[in-house]
């Protein structure tokens, strides 16, 4: 019976992640412009969601809970990134210049992400939640305000 419970839980988590993968990707895109770092950030977010799944509080909507975890992990990821040495940052800048951007990405969307990238981490979170159509009450719940 124990193995069956684990399989059911894994299936629920997989279905949940499938439903919220776009949300996770959007948050990661806002906080991380480097493609490889973004992949790491997405993995960190998914890992934290996995660890926290059993602690989900039904007082919050699942999207609010997901945003909150994704944003908190992203902010922590940014803090860790700022401690990296200047050589690593220089490598990242060169790498970004050499990357070929996907032709399907709309230029205006790239400009929007550029301007969002200039914001402080908490402001980024508020903007992305607003862009997703979240109500002020939900934004305040996600942000803990």
pLDDT on residue 139: 86
Residues in contact with 103: Cβ distance below 8 Å, sequence separation at least 6, in sequence order: none
**Whole-angstrom Cα distance, residue 80 to residue 70?**
15
The tokens describing 77, both together, are: 């990821």
pLDDT on residue 85: 47
In the predicted model, is pLDDT for residue 124 greater than 80?
yes
Residues in contact with 52: Cβ distance below 8 Å, sequence separation at least 6, in sequence order: 69
Question: Model pTM?
Answer: 0.64
**Whole-angstrom Cα distance, residue 68 to residue 80?**
18
The better pLDDT of the pair 130, 97 is held by 130
Residue range 112-128: mean pLDDT, rounded: 87
Q: State how many domains the chain has.
A: 1
**Whole-angstrom Cα distance, residue 33 to residue 52?**
26
Consecutive H or E run containing 83: none
Residue 56 is part of which domain span? 2-143
The tokens describing 120, both together, are: 């402080």
* CA-CA-CA-CA torsion sign (17, 31, 121, 131): negative
Nearest to 140 by CA among 129, 6, 90: 129
For 85-118, how does the pLDDT look when each residue is reduced to its tens digit (9 = 90+)?
A: 455 666 666 666 655 555 556 777 888 888 888 8
The better pLDDT of the pair 129, 107 is held by 129
pLDDT on residue 91: 64
For 17-75, how does the pLDDT look when each residue is reduced to its tens digit (9 = 90+)?
A: 899 999 999 999 999 888 999 999 999 999 999 999 888 888 888 999 999 999 999 99
Residues in contact with 39: Cβ distance below 8 Å, sequence separation at least 6, in sequence order: none
């Amino acid at each position: 019976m124990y193995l069956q419970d684990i399989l059911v839980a894994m299936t629920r988590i997989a279905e949940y992640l499938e439903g919220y993968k776009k949300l996770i990707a959007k948050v990661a895109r806002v906080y991380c412009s480097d493609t490889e770092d973004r992949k790491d950030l997405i993995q960190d977010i998914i890992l934290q969601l996995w660890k926290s799944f059993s602690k989900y509080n039904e007082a919050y909507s699942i999207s609010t809970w997901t945003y909150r975890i994704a944003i908190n992990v992203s902010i922590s990821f940014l803090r860790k990134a700022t401690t990296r040495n200047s050589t690593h940052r220089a490598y990242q800048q060169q790498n970004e210049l050499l990357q070929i951007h996907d032709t399907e990405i709309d230029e205006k969307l790239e400009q929007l992400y550029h301007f969002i990238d200039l914001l402080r981490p908490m402001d980024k979170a508020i903007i992305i939640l607003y862009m997703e159509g979240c109500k002020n009450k939900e934004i305040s719940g996600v942000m803990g305000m």
